Amino acid sequence: MNDDTRTAIVTGGSRGIGAAIAKRLEGDGCTVRRPLREELDLSDVSAVRVWAESDDTVPDALVLNAGENIPTPLEEMTTEHWQRTLDVNLNSCFELIRVYGPRMAARGRGRIVAISSFLSFRGRVGRGPYSASKAALDALIRVAALEYGPSGVLANAVCPGFVMTDLTLQNNDEATLAHLASTTALRRLGTPEEVAELVVFLAGDRNTYVTGQTLVIDGGYTCQ
């Protein structure tokens, strides 16, 4: 992706994996929009659709990165907590895809990349709504790939393992982080930049045949 007329929308692009993706795309000459939370509140699904419909952009890449993960046991979880997590992680993605997907299809090209998680297919205590939302996101991406593929739009999900982000540091103490690193094949946690490399490939013109896939990037954590 080296044409400076190309554009990308990256949600959650202010920090962590999203910031690394946006920086990498910009380095390739892409104009990147990173809507801030004040501009685009992903927990307000109706507002997300209004925001997207009022925007006349036809992005070359739509990167759905923003997510929320507040560990809580199911028995202590409120309905509001459950619903908010699904709205941020899944329902907002649906709204953005159903606005921008048809525009990409009408133009005859485009890339959709959703940042999912290895927890979409593996359980972890306290991650009920997070795991559920990411599993559904994987399924949504497969459907998007089928529906928009004939028009030249490719859609994929990327499932990071444990990556050194603010969220990972917030949800795990040092002992847990050390343990998690020791259980990967590479004996370390990933970096946002490593995830960004995969995302940028999937979001760019070099990717011509990978679509409808759920790609895991976890340093070998789930191969055990």
Q: What is the pLDDT of residues 73-119, one digit of tens each?
A: 999 999 999 999 999 999 999 999 999 999 999 999 999 999 999 99
| Model confidence pLDDT, tens digit, residues 160-182 | 999 998 878 887 889 999 999 99
Is residue 176, in this structure, part of any structural domain at all? yes
End-to-end CA gap in the chain? 35
At 169 the pLDDT is 84
At 205 the pLDDT is 95
Domain that holds residue 163: 7-223
From the candidates 130, 148, 209, 221, give the one annotated as an active-site residue.
130
Q: Average pLDDT, whole number, for the chain?
A: 94
Total number of domains in the chain: 1
Is residue 124, in this structure, part of any structural domain at all? yes
Q: What is the CATH number of the domain that holds 32?
A: 3.40.50.720
Q: What is the DSSP string of 60-82?
A: SEEEE---------GGG--HHHH
Is residue 2, in this structure, part of any structural domain at all? no
Q: Is 130 a catalytic residue?
A: yes
Is residue 1, in this structure, part of any structural domain at all? no
Q: What is the DSSP string of 10-65?
A: ETTTTSHHHHHHHHHHHHTT-EEE---TTT--TT-HHHHHHHHHH-----SEEEE-
Is residue 19, in this structure, part of any structural domain at all? yes
